[in-house]
Amino acid sequence: MLGYMNREALQRTLETGRAHLFRRSHGRVMVKGEQSGQFQLVREIWVDCDADAIVMKIEQVGGAACHTGHRSCFHRKLVGGKLEVVGEPVFDPKKVYGQ
Amino acid sequence: MLGYMNREALQRTLETGRAHLFRRSHGRVMVKGEQSGQFQLVREIWVDCDADAIVMKIEQVGGAACHTGHRSCFHRKLVGGKLEVVGEPVFDPKKVYGQ
């Protein structure tokens, strides 16, 4: 998944070992998995050359990072100009997030 | 690496099979590797759940994506509050980009 972090999100990630994001749709820092329980336990943090992006290697609680229930948000592959969904959802988003 | 693409960058990537980016510092679409010759041959394109980010799996010409000469822009690991450079540069940026 790709998400946005501000200073507070990074600090809380470092303090707790769980990925936090600044969720622009909510206007505040949230722990990833706050609604779903699908937390991300941070194992490694890598910083890019101009220090404006990081990659976090995580252990995904529940096996799915995506709100669709798929393991990854990047679960659609562009093949011959069309998007193909690859893999099955791990959970049912209706059950996790409600209707 | 993380980069910004607009519609034209994606179209030129699909047409040529080489990664293109909209380089904000240059104000135009450029093929990745235009200056360095370190082109990226695109093998797979994955689209995320809300279709505002893509992951491209690429074959890196020359072995390094980063302007520092490192294989990846994400070549610094956060360990105990400090950044550790992991791995050696593949090329000398002074030779590739000039002084």
Q: Residues A51-70: pLDDT tens digits?
A: 999 999 999 999 999 999 99
pLDDT for res B97: 84
CA distance linking residue A63 with residue A48, whole number of Å: 26
Got the DSSP string for B30-91?
EETTTTT---EEEEEEEE-TTSS-EEEEEEEGGG--STTS-S-S--EEEETTEEEE-S--SS
Instruction: Give me the pLDDT at residue A99, please.
Output: 58
The pLDDT-based confidence of B88 (bands split at 50, 70, 90) is very high
* Reported ipTM: 0.92
**Does residue B47 belong to the interface with chain A, where contact is any CB pair within 8 Å?**
yes
pLDDT tens-digit map of A18-48: 999 999 999 999 999 998 899 999 999 999 9
Instruction: Return the residue in A10, A45, A49 with the most chain B beta carbons within 10 A, the one to mutate for interface testing.
Output: A49
Instruction: For residue B56, give how far its alpha carbon lies from the nearest alpha carbon of chain A (Å).
Output: 10
pLDDT digits (tens, 9 = 90+) for B18-76: 999 999 999 999 999 998 899 999 999 999 999 999 999 999 999 999 999 999 999 99
- State phi, psi for A97 to the nearest 5 degrees: -105, -5
Would you call B1 an interface residue with chain A, using a CB distance cutoff of 8 Å?
Answer: yes
Check A77 against B48: CB less than 8 A apart: no
* A33 Cβ neighbours under 8 A, 6+ residues apart: A18, A39, A40, A61, A62
Residues in CB range of B27: below 8 A, 6 or more apart: none
